[in-house]
Amino acid sequence: MSDQYPFQSSVNVFVDWAKARLDEMAANAGTLQTNLDKLDANTRTQAEQAIAQLNQWIEKGKSDIETAQAQGEASVAQGKADMDALWAKYQGDSEKWAQLAQDHHATFQARAQAQVQAWQDTVNTYVQRLNDVHDQNKTQAEAQVAQLQADAQKAQADLTTKVDQLTKAGQSSWSAMSEALDQSRDAFSKSIETAAKNFNDAIKS
């Protein structure tokens, strides 16, 4: 690792990975909140409980991110274990909460948009990191950022196409929507891991 550019790849990967998931949770909470006035009393109560649960999980995830940023790589394993546990609970309830909102498409589109924004936020972060890379390493580092941008553009295009296809087809199956989100999310996870490793290798060379 460069002494003059202390890039902690595992911390950065964890932060990007965790934030993306928390943003999806927040998007789900936002959809529920938007639809509250359309719900009957019983469903509204359930939706409000879901929003409260989501917000609680989001705050826990943010706390783990702050811990990782403050304590460094030693805290990443625990943070990831915590986030995995939160995410498993969320995924287990996500279909039920999409039904509570009474609008699968709105929930799907909100979560898809959160994923697209996560890609863009990560690209922007790496672009900013380029400012701290020494000139002799700049070309290699820029190449890694360019690859991340290309990955982001492809993933965004693929997800946008899937959103359009499901919307036009009137597809209401949450399993189909969830699968599309899973595929995009997996691509994001792989891309940020590769970007962090290659970026780190570039600035050490």
* Distance (Å, whole) CA 78 – CA 49: 27
What are the domain boundaries of the chain? 9-204
CA dist list (Å): 49 to 21, 69, 85, 108, 187: 20, 30, 19, 20, 32
What is the average pLDDT value for the chain, to the nearest integer?
Answer: 86
Dist CA 1 CA 78 (whole Å)? 23
The strand ranges marked E within the chain are none
Provide the CB-side half-sphere exposure for 12 (13 A, CA). Answer: 19
pLDDT (0 to 100) of residue 188: 87
Each residue's pLDDT tens digit, 97-111: 888 887 888 888 899
Task: Look up residue 56 and give its amino acid.
Answer: Q
pLDDT tens per residue, range 59-82: 999 999 999 999 998 999 999 999
118-169 pLDDT per residue, tens: 888 988 988 888 887 888 888 888 888 898 889 888 888 888 888 788 777 6
**C-alpha 122: how far from its chain's center?**
10
User: What confidence score (pLDDT) does residue 26 get?
Assistant: 96
Return the structure tokens found at 50. Answer: 């879901």
